[in-house]
Amino acid sequence: MNSNITEISFPGLGIESIEVNRVAFTLSFGEKSFSVYWYGIIIVCGILFAFWYAYFRSKNENVLLDDLLDVGIWTVILGVIGARLYYVLTSLDQFVPEPFDFWEFMKNVINLRSGGLAIYGGVIGGVIGILIVTKIKKINTLKLTDMIAPGVMVAQAIGRWGNFFNAEAHGGIVEEGSPLYFLRMGLRPAGSSADFQYYHPAFLYESVWNLVGFFIINAFYKKKKFNGQISCMYLAWYGFGRMFIEGLRTDSLYVGTVRISQAVGLICFVIFGALLVWGLIYSKKFSFEGYEPVGIDRILIPTLTDGRVKADEQNLSTSENGEKEEGTTTAAGDDNADAEAENAGSTSEAVDTADSGESDTNTEKQDVTGNDADNEAENSDLEDDEDIDVDSDIYREEQNNTDDSNINNNEKNLNDESADNKTEGEDTENKKFSDD
């Protein structure tokens, strides 16, 4: 009987029995052989997807590929170390030899093929790697964790299928009346004639939970209100689900009677859920125009940053106001100068027009005076002419009266036109008078 092969069934899903070998293939080197497990292959696939997703988001976040590669290298290395140390520290009795031997102990710690990686330790190690690289590269840490977090969710969903090939990370026996009974997973050793034992497929629950969370969080990515929002959503979502799913498992790590992963899941949900709500409430207060959300550090630690931020904003506001006032004063001065020039021009035009009108009026008055002199001379000639009869004299008198009336009318019209010229500043055309 091969211990690497297990029979698995999902009768509720129509899968009666399949044999699963946890060894993908074996490499031979002379007399030695090296087995490659499906678990390792699946973990690598999850890491590659997480990196691809981070690269996909880096285009929007203006993060260089070289910087992302540095982050990926350090995150993977420290993530694996963190996942291993977390598992070792929470289950020391499995690694400490009797009698104690330090080198034997270290050999057990670094022997990853013996199993034992904890996702929370991987997250902690990965975050340390991110902090180191972002500090050196001077990259916004929360922006980077937002880029990486959704991909990590899918990596976890993929990685859980490594537990499927190992026939591990399952829950207790599922009761027939359970609402999850249709998802029951049957297990038995390959070649055994024993009946299947049906368990909660905890790995499947967590995988589906992470995939649902990924689609929800990914949909909110471009609508995020602050840097760190996606990271908070990921940790709150994962912590909430893990808090319940861990309660079904039979291989949990304990501290006393407390399931460690369940307690950590509860803590993540409470803390990061509260940070998420806090950030969403106060993000409008600290947000600014454009797609560069404000960092959660300004939202969560106002006492440390607000003084400096407000001083900077006040200085900037004062500078902007000064520039605006200077620009307004300059513009007002220019407008006043233009207005004065226009008024001067208008006044000059009005004076020229008035002078022109007065000159024209004087000329017309001189013409009228000349006409009067001519009329008087004409009247004198008429009076001296004794050869003309009385009818002619009467005719001339009437004609003279008519001329005088016309002259008076013309003078009145000239005075009216001169007044109009002074008021409106328009050029008055020379008017010609003709004597009847």
pLDDT class for 114, splitting at 50, 70, 90?
Answer: confident
Q: Which residue has the tokens 């409106």?
A: 424
User: What is d(CA 156, CA 214) in angstroms, rounded to the nearest whole number?
Assistant: 11
**What's the CA dihedral at 75, 80, 83, 84 to 10 degrees?**
-150
Name residue 9's amino acid: S
Give me the residue spans of the domains in the chain. 5-63+139-300, 315-424
Is 277 or 116 the better-scoring residue by pLDDT?
A: 277
Q: Which residue has the tokens 């709500």?
A: 277
**Host H or E run for residue 5:** strand 5-10
Task: State residue 150's pLDDT score.
Answer: 97
pLDDT class for 174, splitting at 50, 70, 90?
Answer: very high
The residues, any chain, with a CB within 8 Å of residue 280's CB and separated by 6 or more, are 225, 226, 229
User: What is d(CA 292, CA 289) in angstroms, rounded to the nearest whole number?
Assistant: 8
Task: State residue 363's pLDDT score.
Answer: 43
Q: Which residues of 402-422 are buried (b: 16+ CB within 10 A; e: fewer)?
A: ebeebbeebeeebeebbeebb
- Is the pLDDT reported for residue 15 higher than 70? yes
Give the up-direction half-sphere exposure of residue 250: CA atoms within 13 A in the CB hemisphere. 10
User: What is d(CA 353, CA 428) in angstroms, rounded to the nearest whole number?
Assistant: 8
CA 378-384-388 angle, to 5 degrees, is 90
Q: Which residue has the tokens 């509860």?
A: 266
Partners of 27 in the β-ladder:
34
**Host H or E run for residue 400:** helix 390-424
The residues, any chain, with a CB within 8 Å of residue 20's CB and separated by 6 or more, are 5, 6, 7, 8, 164, 165, 167
Task: State residue 369's pLDDT score.
Answer: 45
- Is the pLDDT reported for residue 386 higher than 50? no
User: What is d(CA 121, CA 78) in angstroms, rounded to the nearest whole number?
Assistant: 9
User: What is d(CA 206, CA 244) in angstroms, rounded to the nearest whole number?
Assistant: 10
Query: What digits encode the pLDDT tens for the residues 338-378?
Result: 545 454 454 444 434 444 444 444 444 444 344 444 444 44
The residue among 215, 64, 182 whose CA lies nearest residue 134 is 64
User: What is d(CA 51, CA 178) in angstroms, rounded to the nearest whole number?
Assistant: 39
pLDDT class for 191, splitting at 50, 70, 90?
Answer: confident
Helix axis angle for 65-89 and 141-166, nearest 10°, is 50
Is 150 or 377 the better-scoring residue by pLDDT?
A: 150
The residue among 150, 196, 135, 123 whose CA lies nearest residue 57 is 150
Q: Are 150 and 214 a contacting pair, CB within 8 Å?
A: yes
Cα separation values, 3 from 102, 190, 193, Å? 31, 8, 15
Beta 226-227 vs 15-21: how paired, if at all?
unpaired
pLDDT class for 302, splitting at 50, 70, 90?
Answer: very low
Query: What digits encode the pLDDT tens for the residues 224-271?
Result: 999 999 999 999 999 999 999 999 999 998 888 999 999 999 999 999
User: What is d(CA 407, CA 400) in angstroms, rounded to the nearest whole number?
Assistant: 10
Task: State residue 321's pLDDT score.
Answer: 55
